[in-house]
Amino acid sequence: MTEISVLSIFLAAVFTNNILLTNYLGMCSFLAVSSEVKASAGLGMAVTFVMAVTSVLNWIVEHHILVPLDLVYMRYIVYIIVIAAFVQLVEMIIERVSESLYSALGIFLPLITVNCAILGATLFIAIREYTLPQAAAYGAGGGLGWALAIVAMAGIRQKMARARVPRGLSGAGISLVITGIMALAFIGFSGMIRIN
């Protein structure tokens, strides 16, 4: 996997291999929060930040602790601990340093530990055997792609609020249909780059 350039991994993570629209990761918070643009942007920012940093942290843990000690099968537990610890740390720092940032991001941080997209990005990086710069690019790009999707979705849902939707379809059903159409649109980017 060393031959793919860092830039193309970054772009692929945002557009063609969008972690939400092609891998369905992070759907739970996506469906729950995406009804308002402002909250979505906040959550998107928090996810991007946490995903970018934990991707790098977990890469270091994988290559300098788990592999030398032959503990790769413990991956899942170790990754989730790193993510949870990091999220907790960020929450405490933000609370002390910036009141306004805390009120914007703080409420979303606990949600992030169990956001599948964060763990998913880390696991994809491990399985695809990325190098450190590639891992950083994938983490940042993946987070950004997720943020892009949730903000776009929130915009659409605000417009949809007054639309008349068949009763059984309203709520989750129509959100999934919209997400599907968004995923279709994102397939249009796939001529650009392709990673797997």
Q: Are 54 and 122 in contact (CB under 8 A)?
A: yes
- Contact pick of 7, 60, 71, 172 for another protein (by CB under 8 A): 172
**Separation of alpha carbons 69 and 184, rounded Å:** 43
Q: How far is CA 132 from CA 9, 63, 95, 118, 186, in A?
A: 12, 10, 30, 17, 27
Q: Does 187 bind another protein (CB under 8 A)?
A: yes
Q: What is the DSSP letter of 101?
A: H
Q: Which of residues 152-171 bind another protein (CB under 8 A)?
A: 166-169, 171
Q: Which of residues 126-155 bind another protein (CB under 8 A)?
A: 126-127
Backbone angles phi, psi at 161, to 5 degrees: -55, -35
Q: Does 81 bind another protein (CB under 8 A)?
A: yes
Q: Does 77 bind another protein (CB under 8 A)?
A: yes
- Contact pick of 60, 71, 184, 192 for another protein (by CB under 8 A): 184
Of 87 and 105, which CB lies nearer to another protein in the complex structure? 87
Lay out the site mask for another protein across 5-44 (x = CB under 8 A, - = otherwise). ----------------xxxxxxxx--x-------------
Q: Does 195 bind another protein (CB under 8 A)?
A: no
DSSP string, 111-159: HHHT-HHHHHHHHHHHHHT--HHHHHHHHHHHHHHHHHHHHHHHHHHHH
- Written as six digits, the tokens of 57 are 């942290």
- Contact pick of 4, 43, 119, 150 for another protein (by CB under 8 A): 119
Q: How far is CA 94 from CA 24, 109, 146, in A?
A: 29, 10, 22
Of 92 and 173, which CB lies nearer to another protein in the complex structure? 173
Contact positions toward another protein, by CB under 8 A? 21-28, 31, 73-77, 80-81, 84, 113-120, 123-124, 126-127, 166-169, 171-174, 176-177, 179-181, 183-184, 187
